[in-house]
Amino acid sequence: MVGVSAIDPLVAANIEFAKSFSGGLPGTPARKVAVVTCMDCRIDPVRALGVTVGDANVIRNAGGLVVEDTIRSLAISQRKLGTQAIMIIQHTRCGLSTFSDEEFRAELAAETGVTPPWGPRPFGAQEDNVRAALERIHASPFLPHTDDVRGFIFDVDTGLLNEVYASAS
């Protein structure tokens, strides 16, 4: 069947992109920073953070959550690629706040007959989500560098980062 692929224009754009691409950068991030953020299409970490290609590892998933696979990526980033700082960036008006993960799992199970292998992810008040992510990083035995770990909420309307501080305890 001949159809129109949404991907075709992207492949065509890549051919243009490659014409002025210089390449040759090492795979170790120059700024020694790993950024964990949401897959949301309104967040462009490169432009929003004043970094460029070669500067940072960017790990994205729905919500910018620190889940098992995020820890895996961060462990590789720190242990194999030399990063030492971690920035967690969640954001306002995140799609994950519009439905409960429990409901989504039940919906998938009912529709497909298969229960998703990933566990439920509590997603509550925004600042609490960021604090939970920071806590998971600090609790991980696999991350050697946890002195410079900070969490933020990116405002998709103003473009500003608002820092979330660990609760005083």
Binding residues: 38, 40, 91, 94
Q: Does 58 bind Zn ion (CB under 5 A)?
A: no
Question: Helix axis angle, 68-81 relative to 126-139, nearest 10°?
Answer: 50
Name which position in 33, 34, 35, 38 contacts Zn ion (CB under 5 A): 38
* 133 Cβ neighbours under 8 A, 6+ residues apart: 36, 64, 65, 66, 88, 90, 151
Q: Does 59 bind Zn ion (CB under 5 A)?
A: no
Q: Which is nearer to Zn ion, 33 or 38 (CB)?
A: 38
Q: Does 94 bind Zn ion (CB under 5 A)?
A: yes
Binding residues for Zn(2+) are 38, 40, 91, 94
Q: Does 40 bind Zn ion (CB under 5 A)?
A: yes
Closest of 28, 160, 1 to residue 91, by C-alpha = 160
Four-point Cα dihedral 66, 71, 52, 20, nearest 10: -110
Which conformational region is residue 113 in: left (phi greater than 0), alpha (psi within -120 to 50 degrees), or beta?
Answer: left
Q: Which is nearer to Zn ion, 38 or 143 (CB)?
A: 38
Q: Does 43 bind Zn ion (CB under 5 A)?
A: no
Q: Does 132 bind Zn ion (CB under 5 A)?
A: no
* 118 Cβ neighbours under 8 A, 6+ residues apart: 67
Q: Does 66 bind Zn ion (CB under 5 A)?
A: no
Q: Does 101 bind Zn ion (CB under 5 A)?
A: no
Contacting residues toward Zn ion, per CB under 5 A: 38, 40, 94
